[in-house]
Structure 1
Amino acid sequence: MPAPTFLSHIQSRVRVEHVFFAILIVALILRFAFLDLKLFHHDEAIHAWFSYQLLTQGTYIYDPVYHGPFLYYVTAGMFALFGDSDLVGRILPCIFGTALIPLVYCLYRMGYLSGKTAIIAGIFVAIAPEMIYFSRFLRNDVFVVFFSLLIVVAFLAWIQKGKWYYLLLAGIAAALGMCSKENMPIILVTFGLFFLYLVWSRKITLPERWLRDVILAVAVFFGVIFLFYSSFGAHPEVIFTAGPSAIEHWLNMHNQQRIGGPPYYYLLLFVLYELPVLLFAIAGVILYLRRPCGKKQVTTEEILPEISDAEFFESDGETVSGPAPPVPVPEKKNPIRDLFRRPEPPVALNRQEEFIRFAIYWTIMACLTYAYIGEKVPWLSLHQLVPMIFVAAYALSFAGKYTKPLMVLACAFLLVVTFHVAYTPADIAEPIVQVQNSEDLVELMAAIDASEKVAISSDQGWPFTWYYRGDGWDKISYYGRKISQDSVLAGDFDIIMTHDDDSYESLPGYEKKTIRLSYWIDGAATGNDPGWFWYYVTRDGKIGSINTDVFTKNSSA
C-alpha cells in the first residue's frame, strides 16, 4: 500500500478523543518525571512544614500570609497516605495541573470549542513552561486555576443541561478556590460581570428551577468555606476575622510592594517563557475583532459540534473544526463596540463565538488586574495564561495549511524552555524561580546527615526546618542569631553554619566554605551580563543569593 494511502487510512481512524488521550499522557509524563529533581522552593518548604505540623500535631489556624487552608489539609492527607517527602508534596499539584486538560475536552464536548481549537489548547496546557513548572510546585495557584476553569465548565453545563448538580459542582469549585488563595474573589468578580452581561444581553436562559439550584449552591459554597477556615470547627472565630485580615494584609502588601515590579512584569515573563502563546493570543484578539458579523440568527442546535474525527490531521490543513458557519451578511460595525454589543431579539447563543469572547475578556481582565497589583511574583502568571491559551488556540484555528508548521515551531520553543527551567538540576538565572533554595544545599545536607551535632548560628532556619523535621532536628542546635565564637566552639559541633554577612573570620579546627542558601536572578549580582538578547538566547545571567558560611570540623582535629 502506498505510504500516503496508508497514512490517510490511519488519519481517518484518529478521533479527537484519541488525540486528547495522547495529550494527557504527555502532560502526565512532563509533570511527574523527576518530580523531586530539585529541592523545595523556599515557599514550598514552608507549605510542606505547616502541612506536616497539621498531620503530626493537628494544629492549623488560617494566616493570610500563607494563604488558604485547602493546600495544608490536602497535603497533610497525602503525607498521611504516602509519607512526608518532597515528591509526595508535589503529587497533588501535578494532578491538578494535568486535570486542566480533561476540562478543555469537556468544553469541546459541550460545543464551546471546535475540535481543532480544543486540541491546540490542550497541547498548550500540556507543554507550556509555566504550566509545567508550577504544576510541579507546592503552591496554591495551580489549584486556583483548576477550580477557576472547573467553575466555567460546570456553570456552562448547568446552563446547557439544567441539572442542579452542575451548579452545585460550580459552587464547590468556587468554595475550594476561596479556600486556596485570596485572589479567588477577583476571579469570581471577573466571572460574575460576564455572567451579568450574558443575562443582560439575553444570550443565556436560566434553567426553570434556577432559584432552587442557586440557593443550594450558595449554601454549599459557604458550608465548605466554614469547614476549612474554621479548621473543621476547631476555630469557628476565624470565620469572622479571615476576610478582614486577608484584605488588610494584601492591601498592605500591594501598597508596600514588598516584591515589586513594573506593570509589564508579566508581559516580560510571557516573552521569556510563553512567546508563541502570547503572539497567537494577540492575533486571536485581532481576528475576533475583525471577524465578519451578520444578522443571521444562529440556534443552539446549529452550533453543536459535528466534528470530523480526523479533521485536525487533514493533509491540506484547510479544514476548520466545528459546523459550517452561517453565511454572514456584511455589515459595517465598530469592532470594539461590537465586542460587547447587545444583540437584537430573538437572541440565540453561538457557543464557540461566545466562549472566545469570554476568553478574551478573561485574559484582558486578568492581565490588567495583575499588572495593577503591587505584589509581582511569577506564579500569578498562571491566572493570565490559562484564558490566554484559549485565545491563542482560536487564532491558530484560522491558520489553515500553516497550522501544522506553526504548531511545530511553537511546541519546539515551549519544550526547549520547559526542559531548561524544569529539569536543570542546578541554579539557573531565571525569574521564574523567584527565591529558590540552592542546589548547593544537596551536598551540605549530605554532610549534615553524616554528622552528629550541627549548629545554625544565625536566623537561617529554612529550609532545614522542613528537611530535618521530627527526630532529624535533634542533632541541630538552632540559635536564631550569631553567638560568640567561644560559645559555638564549646559545643564541639561537626558543622557550624552562619550567615556570610555576619560570620566568623575563621574557627580553629574548622574548614570554611561559603555556599548559596537561596538564589534569584539579579542584574546587580554576580555572574555574566551578556545583554538582553544574548541572555534570551543563552539564559546565562547574573544570580543574586543569600549565602551561608559552612564550617566543617577537620577530620584530623
Structure 2
Amino acid sequence: MALDDPSAPQLDDNHARGNVAVYTPPRRGAMRFRITLESILWICLGVLATLTRFWDLGSRAQHHDESLHVYYSWLLAVGAGYIHDPLMHGPSLFHTTALAYFLFGDNDYSSRVFPAVCGVLLVLMPWLLRGPNLLGRWGALTLGTLILFSPTLLYYTRFIRHDPYILVGTLGVIIACLRYLERPAPRWVMMIGLCTGFLFATMEVSFIVGFVIVTFLVAVVTWQVAKPLFVVGLGTLAALAGVWFIMPRLGAAPLPAIPWEHPTNQNIRQFTLDLVQHPIVLASLGVLLLGLIAGLAVIDKVRDPDADGWLDGVLGKAPDGSSANRVYLLLKDKRTLGLAVLGGATIYVVLYTTMFTNMPGLASGTVGALGYWLGQHGVQRAEQPWFYYLLMLPQYEFIGVLLFPVGLLITVRKLVPHLLHGAAISRRDYLRGFVVYWALMHLAIFSWAGEKMPWLTVHMTLPLLVLAASVIGEALEWVEARLHAGMLSRQAAIAVAVGIPLLTGAWFMLWAWGTAGPWVQGERFVQRTLRPEVADNPWLLYLPLLGLLALLAIGWRKLGAAALVRVAGISLVAVTLLGQIHTGFRMSYIEGDTPVDMLIYVQSTPDVTRVVEEMGI
C-alpha cells in the first residue's frame, strides 16, 4: 500500500475508533461562513496576533541588521534606486519596506510594519490546514496559538529582517503542496508557484526549504512507483557521502575557495575550472552518473511499454490519490504548471531587477547569492559551536522541544510497520512524517552551516510547532470524541484539566512565598532565608505536590490511563504556554533592545532612541 494510499483508513475509520471528531464539509451553494466557536476562536487569534505584532512596534532601538535594511530601503523610497547585494539577501524586504515608507512615512514603526504583517499571517495561515486529513480543527487552532505565543517568532516578526518573509513563504508552499496532494486544484499549483518565486526573491534559506520539500516528495514517489528506484537513490546518496568523507582523508586537496569577496570574471572562471577538475568533484560526478544509469534501468523495467510516453508509462498507473498520482496529474496539466512558473518567475525578475532597472540583478540573485553564502560557510561568523541551536531552542520553545520526542515516537510507530509490512496509514501520519523530516533536516543543515545566528532559530521553530500542534490536536480530538460518546466522565476530565494548573500554580506561589524570608548577614554576603513558618514546617511546601499526586490517582481511576495521559498532557501544555508568554513578553516589550538573552544578539542600546527623542529628531 502506498505511503498516502487513499484506501488507507481516513476520516470515517478514524472516527469509528474515536481518534478524530466528525467533520462535515459545507454543501455546495450553501453559505460557507457561520458563527461558530471555531470561527470566534480564529477571530480572537487574529485580533491577538495584530495587537502583539503591532503594539509599540517603533520604540525599540534598531538592531545592526535593521539599520542596514532601513537605510537601503529608504534610498529606494526616495528614488535613489536599489541594486541587489548578496550580503543583504533578497530584494523583497527592501521593496516592501520602501512601500511602507511611501504609505506611512519613514520611521522606526513603519520600518517594521511588513514583518509584523508576516507575523499576523503566520498565525492565521494554519486555518488552511484545518481539514480532517491534515491537522484538523483543533490541530490548526493549536498551531495558530503556538505561533502566536512563540517567544522566538514573536520577537523576530517585530524585527525588520528577511526571516518573517521566509516563514510565510515556507508555510505557504507547504500548505499548498499538502492541499494539492489531498485534492488537486489549480489554485494550489498557483500558490506553490507564487510562494516559490517570493521565497527565492527573499533569502538564500529558500534553497534549503526547496531541498527539503523536493527530496521528501522524490523519496515518497520513488517508493510508491518502484522500491528498487528508492534503493538506488539511497545508495547514490551513501556513495556521495563516502566520496566526500573518505577522499579528504586519503589526501585529496580541499575544494578551491569561492571568490566571494571580490568576484571578477577572471577569478570566477578560474574557480570554475579548478572546481570541475577537482578529484572529489570528478568522483561525485561519476557516482551521480552511475546512479542515473541504474535509475534509468529501473524505470525502463517498471514502465508500461504500452503507455504513451515515459510519463504515462511510469506514473500513469500510480494508485489514485497517492503522491505519485498527484505528481502525474500536475505534470500533465501543463497550462496550470506553466502559469505557476510564470507567476513565480515574474516576482523573481521584477524584484531582482528593481522593476527592470538593474538587469545584472538576475545573476547576482542566483549564482552570486549562492556563491557568496557558500563562501561564508568557511568564514563562520560568530564562531558558534555545532550544537548552538540545541542550546537555543530549549530556552524559548518549551512546548515544541518537549513534544518533539512524542511526535517522533508516534511517527516512527506508524511509519515503520507501513514501510516494513505495508500497514495502512492515514494522511495525517503522512503529514507528520514530512514535518519530522522537515524539522530534522533543518536542524542538521543549519547546524552544519558555518554561520549560526539567533534569528535563524525561527526556521527550526516552525516545524517543531507544527509537529507539536499535530500531537496536541489529535489528543484534543481523541478526548472530544469520547466525551461526546459518553465514554469519559466530563466532570473528572474537567477536574484534572483545571486542577493541574491550579495546583502547579499554588506550588510555585507557595515556594515563592516560603523562600522569601528575612535577609541575614552571612560570612561573606547577605542571603535570604526561609520564612519561620516554613523553616519550622518544611512539609508545607509539598502540600500542592501531594494534592497533584492525589488528583492524578483519582483521574487514573475515573478516566483510565490513556485518557489521563492526554488530559493531563493538554493541561501541562497550557501551563507551559504561560511560561512562553512570560518569556516572549519580557523579550519583545521590556528588553527588546537590551541584549540580556541569547536570542537578542548584535543589538544596539535603548539609549539610541532616548537621545533621538531628547534631540527632537
TM bracket, shorter-chain basis? 0.5 to 0.7
Alignment-derived partner of residue 215 in structure 1: 338
Would you say 1:368 and 2:390 are equivalent positions?
no
Structure 1 residue 238: deviation in Å? Answer: 2.4
How many angstroms apart in 1 are the aligned matches of 2:184 and 2:420? 24
Structure 1 residue 210: deviation in Å? Answer: 3.0
Question: Which residue identity lines up with residue 372 of structure 2 in the other structure?
Answer: H
Alignment-derived partner of residue 257 in structure 1: 380
On the 8 A contact 1:158/1:167 being kept in 2, the answer is yes
Structure 1 residue 343: deviation in Å? Answer: 7.7
Alignment-derived partner of residue 247 in structure 1: 370
Q: Aligned to 2:195, which of 155, 173, 191?
A: 173
Distance 1:290 1:161, change over 3 A: closer
Structure 2 gaps of 5+ residues are 1-34, 225-321, 476-564
On the 8 A contact 1:280/1:393 being kept in 2, the answer is no
Q: Aligned to 2:402, which of 263, 279, 282?
A: 279
Alignment-derived partner of residue 304 in structure 1: none
How many angstroms apart in 2 are the aligned matches of 1:116 and 1:164? 27
Q: Deviations over 1:265-299 (max 9, x none)?
A: 112111111122201112211222234x7xxxxxx
How many angstroms apart in 2 are the aligned matches of 1:282 and 1:27? 28
Distance 1:59 1:22, change over 3 A: same
Aligned-residue CA RMSD (Å): 2.2
Q: Aligned to 1:413, which of 579, 595, 602?
A: 579
SS state at 2:78 partner: helix
Structure 1 residue 100: deviation in Å? Answer: 1.6
Would you say 1:382 and 2:549 are equivalent positions?
no
SS state at 1:432 partner: coil
Structure 1 residue 126: deviation in Å? Answer: 0.7
Distance 1:241 1:48, change over 3 A: closer
Q: What is the correspondence of 1:93-492 to structure 2 with a 5 Å cutoff? A: 93-109=115-131, 111-202=133-224, 203-204=322-323, 205-206=325-326, 207=329, 209-291=332-414, 335=416, 341=419, 350-396=426-472, 397-398=474-475, 399-425=565-591, 427-449=594-616
On the 8 A contact 2:389/2:457 being kept in 1, the answer is yes
Q: Deviations over 1:204-260 (max 9, x none)?
A: 222374333223222322232111111111111221343222122212221011222
Question: Which residue identity lines up with residue 392 of structure 2 in the other structure?
Answer: L
On the 8 A contact 1:255/1:374 being kept in 2, the answer is yes
Structure 1 residue 50: deviation in Å? Answer: 0.7
Alignment-derived partner of residue 293 in structure 2: none
Q: Aligned to 2:92, which of 58, 70, 74?
A: 70
Distance 1:110 1:214, change over 3 A: farther
Would you say 1:86 and 2:111 are equivalent positions?
no
Distance 1:257 1:162, change over 3 A: same
Alignment-derived partner of residue 465 in structure 1: none
Structure 1 gaps of 5+ residues are 1-12, 294-334, 450-471, 473-557
Which contiguous aligned blocks of 4+ residues in structure 1 show a shift greater than 4 angstroms? none
How many angstroms apart in 2 are the aligned matches of 1:168 and 1:267? 36
On the 8 A contact 1:229/1:238 being kept in 2, the answer is yes
Question: Which residue identity lines up with residue 383 of structure 1 in the other structure?
Answer: H
How many angstroms apart in 2 are the aligned matches of 1:195 and 1:212? 22
On the 8 A contact 2:594/2:600 being kept in 1, the answer is no
Question: Which residue identity lines up with residue 209 of structure 2 in the other structure?
Answer: I
Question: Which residue identity lines up with residue 244 of structure 1 in the other structure?
Answer: V
Q: Deviations over 1:476-529 (max 9, x none)?
A: xxxxxxxxxxxxxxxxxxxxxxxxxxxxxxxxxxxxxxxxxxxxxxxxxxxxxx
Structure 1 residue 348: deviation in Å? Answer: 8.2
How many corresponding residue pairs? 391
Alignment-derived partner of residue 30 in structure 1: 52
Higher relative contact order structure (alpha carbons within 8 Å, sequence separation ≥ 6):
2
Distance 1:442 1:109, change over 3 A: same
How many angstroms apart in 2 are the aligned matches of 1:348 and 1:173? 32
On the 8 A contact 1:93/1:136 being kept in 2, the answer is yes
Alignment-derived partner of residue 486 in structure 2: none
How many angstroms apart in 1 are the aligned matches of 2:170 and 2:110? 24
Question: Which residue identity lines up with residue 436 of structure 2 in the other structure?
Answer: I
Higher-strand-fraction structure: 1
SS state at 2:130 partner: helix
Question: Which residue identity lines up with residue 95 of structure 1 in the other structure?
Answer: V
Taking every aligned residue pair, what percent have the same amino acid on both sides? Answer: 23
Question: Which residue identity lines up with residue 417 of structure 1 in the other structure?
Answer: T
Distance 1:343 1:233, change over 3 A: farther
Structure 1 residue 32: deviation in Å? Answer: 1.5
How many angstroms apart in 1 are the aligned matches of 2:410 and 2:177? 27
Q: With structure 1 as the length reference, what TM-score do the two structures score?
A: 0.66
Q: What is the correspondence of 1:537-552 to structure 2 with a 5 Å cutoff? A: none
How many angstroms apart in 2 are the aligned matches of 1:110 and 1:96? 26
SS state at 2:599 partner: helix
